[in-house]
Chains A and B, each alone.
Chain A
Amino acid sequence: MAEIEIEKKNPIWPWILLAILVIAALLYFFVLADDGTDDMDDMNTEQVYDNNAMDNETADYQDAENMRYVALINEYDTYINDPQMGLDHEYANGALMKLISAVDATANELGVDIESDLEKARKEAQSITEDPLKVTHANSIKDSGKHILTALKTIQTEKFPDMSNAYSEIDSAFSKIDPGKETLNQKMEVKSFFNKVSSLLNSMK
Chain B
Amino acid sequence: MKDEKNRSLFYLDELSDYKVKSGDPDVRGWHVKDKDQRVIGKVENLLVNKNTEKVVYLDVEVDPSIIDANHKPYSGKAQGGVHEVMNKDGENHLIIPIGLVNLNHDEEVVNTNEITHKTFAETKRKRKGSTIDREYEIIVLDSYNRNDTKYPEDDSLYERDEYDTKNYRNT
A4 & B19 in contact (Cβ 8 Å cutoff): no
Chain B residues with CB under 8 A of A7 = 18-22, 53
Produce 1/0 per residue, A1-33, CB < 8 A to B: 111111111000000000000000000000000
| Assembly CA distance A4 to B16 (angstroms) | 17
Residues of B near A8 (CB, < 8 A) are 17-19
B103: Cβ under 8 A from any A Cβ = yes
Q: Which residues from chain A contact B48 at a C-beta distance below 8 Å?
A: 6
Bound complex: CA of A9 vs CA of B53, how far in Å?
12
B82 is an interface residue with CB less than 8 A from chain A? no
Q: Using Cβ atoms and an 8 Å threshold, which residues of chain A touch B16?
A: 9
Q: Which residue of B lies closest to A7 (CB)?
A: B21
Contacts of A3 in B (CB 8 A): 24, 54, 165, 168
Check B132 for interface membership: any CB of A closer than 8 A.
no
CA distance A8 to B46 in the complex (A): 15
| Residues of B within 8 A of A (CB-CB), count | 26
Residue B100 at the chain A interface, CB threshold 8 Å: no
Contacts of A5 in B (CB 8 A): 20-21, 24, 53-55
User: Known: A1-B165, A1-B168. Is A6-B15 also a contact (CB below 8 A)?
Assistant: yes
Residue count of chain A within 8 Å CB distance of chain B: 9
Question: Which listed residue (A1, A2, A9) contacts B19, Cβ 8 A?
Answer: A9
Contacts of A9 in B (CB 8 A): 16-19
Closest approach, in angstroms, between the C-beta of B12 and any C-beta of chain A?
Answer: 6
Docked Cα-Cα span, A6 to B17, in Å, equals 10
Q: Scan residues 147-166 of chain B and give those whose CB is less than 8 A from a CB of chain A.
A: 165-166
Asked if B90 is an interface residue, CB under 8 A from chain A, the answer is no
Contact present for B17 and A4 (CB under 8 Å): no
Q: Mark B48-81, 1 if CB is under 8 A from A, else 0.
A: 1000011100000000000000000000000000
Q: Using Cβ atoms and an 8 Å threshold, which residues of chain A touch B141?
A: none
Q: Can you report 15 A-B residue pairs in the complex whose CB atoms are below 8 A from each other?
A: A1-B166, A1-B168, A2-B103, A2-B168, A3-B24, A3-B165, A4-B21, A4-B54, A5-B20, A6-B53, A7-B18, A7-B20, A7-B21, A7-B53, A8-B19
Listed in ascending order, the chain A residues whose CB lies under 8 Å from chain B are 1-9
Known: A2-B168, A6-B21; 8 extra A-B contacts, CB below 8 A, are A1-B165, A2-B165, A6-B12, A6-B18, A7-B18, A7-B21, A9-B17, A9-B18
Residues of B that sit less than 8 Å from A by CB: 12, 15-22, 24-27, 46, 48, 53-55, 98, 103, 105, 165-166, 168-170
Task: Give 4 closest A-B pairs by Cβ, nearest first.
Answer: A4-B55, A5-B21, A3-B165, A7-B21
